Each structure stands twice: as C-alpha cells, then as structure tokens.
Amino acid sequence: MKAATCESSIGHNSQRESERWENVIEQALIHTEAMLEDSNSLYYYHYHRIRYKGMAMHIASKYGRFDGLRVLDIGSHQLHFITVLHLLGANAQGIDVGVFTEAPENRCLSARLGISNQTINSLEMDLADFLLGKTYDIIVFSEILEHITFNPRRMWNAMLQSVPQGSILVTTPNVFSLHKLPGYFSRLFLLSGYGIKVEEIISTITYGHHWKEYSVHELKQYFKLLGRDFEAEVFTVEGTDIFKGAWLASALRSFLISVTNHIPLLRFQIFCWVRPGRTISR
C-alpha cells in the first residue's frame, strides 16, 4: 500500500510539473506572438505554434529547465522558436541563410532581444567550420531535414561533436500524415506524377522544397546507417492546421489532421532526439 501511495504521489508531482511548464511555455508563446508585426511571419507562427509548444515541452521534460541552456537553432527562420527559448531563459543563438538573417524584421527582432543570428548559406559547405570548437546543450534542427539534397554525413558528424553531453532535437513532417495521402494517390491515379510538382520546382528556390519527407521507420534507418556514433529516439507528435485557400479543401485537411492525432503512425509531425552513441569520446 505504501509503495502504491508513493508511486501515486510521484505521478501527481510529475503531472503538476508538466502543467506548470505548459503554463510557463504558453506565456512565452503569447509574448512571442505579440512581438511579431509582419503578416506573413504571423501566419507562419500560427501554423507552427503547436510545434513550437511541443518542442519546448519536450525540452522541459528532458532537461527540467531552460535557464542557462546553450542552444543553437539551425534554421532560425523568422526567429519564432529562438524567441520562445530566449524568453524562457535559454542562452539561444540562431543561424540560417541570408534571406532570413538579413530580413529587416528579423534583424530588428534579434537586435531587440540581443540574440545572435548569423548567416550560414550552405549547411553542406559551411556548418562544420562554424561549429568547430563550439559546444551546446541542445542543437535544434527543426524542419530542415526534408530540404536537404546532399550527403549529410559530414554535417551530422559536426553537429554530434558539438553536443558531447547534449542532444539534437530534430523535427520533420511525417510522410504518412493522413492529410497528405489523398493528394499523393490522386496524382498517381491521374498519372500526373509523384513527388514535387514541376511548377513548384520552377517557382520555388531550391532549398524551399521538401525534397524528401520521412516516415518513423525511415528516420530510424537513416540514423542507423550514419553509424554507431548516433543514438536516435524517434516518435510522432500531434499537429494542427489553420484555414487557407479553398474552404472545403482546408476544412477536410483540418479534419484529417484532428483525426490522425489519435493514430501515431499517421500523425502530422515526427520528433527525434539524437545524441552521441557509445563510440563518441565525451
């Protein structure tokens, strides 16, 4: 009976701690939104807000704190998540391509918060040199993996060496997310093609495409193929959607996402914690 009471107490404490973090993170999200003035930035923020919250909750669960955590956000984009981290007390810095780091609204926000947000125009060519001699508790690699078109070994090795006692938090869309499947199958049925549409290749800058989206199985295989230096915990998380475009299509998309939140294999998003394996010298 005493053991059961003890376990129950631990469970309640864990739940209360999770609720406390959820409230703290929610306040950081609200303050972050209040700082955004550009309409496109606000739309992107609303679209990805549940991802930002999920990432922060997973960091809180894993580390139990934000204060003093050294975090590098690779692909800081419009500074949404790095702002959340900063407000929560992390020592966060970002890197991204110049089109984002040099955007006036991003430069203004980074200066206002005192956040370092540097330009790295090529992950393949420049990231390893940037990371040389630097160490972090967490590297955030969010919504980047699906854009990569080069052999990633050197990039991953450089990141792994920079978190000798830490982890890399990866997020990427789930290729099996149910709301995407009707589009895949309709294009196959109509024999119009598969993968990225031709008009998207012509109209969008190269690193803007999702060249390869992954399943949970593929991501596990991905890190296994990179070698024993990599330990990866891969799982799906819930997603959300906001209306844009044709009403019926948007409504159907939102409905499918809400349904698949209850089906892990078909959920909207994949999260992955990557950390050094046993063969990495610490």
Q: What's the pLDDT tens digit per position in 56-93? A: 999 999 999 999 999 999 999 999 999 999 999 999 99
Q: What's the pLDDT tens digit per position in 22-32? A: 999 999 999 99
Domain ranges of the chain: 2-276
pTM for this prediction: 0.86
Domain 2-276 has CATH 3.40.190.10: no
Tokens coding 57: 């909750």
- Angle ∠(81,83,84) on CA atoms, nearest 5: 65
CA atoms within 13 A on the CB side of 180: 17
Burial of 131 (0-12, 13-18, 19+ CB in 10 A): buried
Tokens coding 249: 């299509």
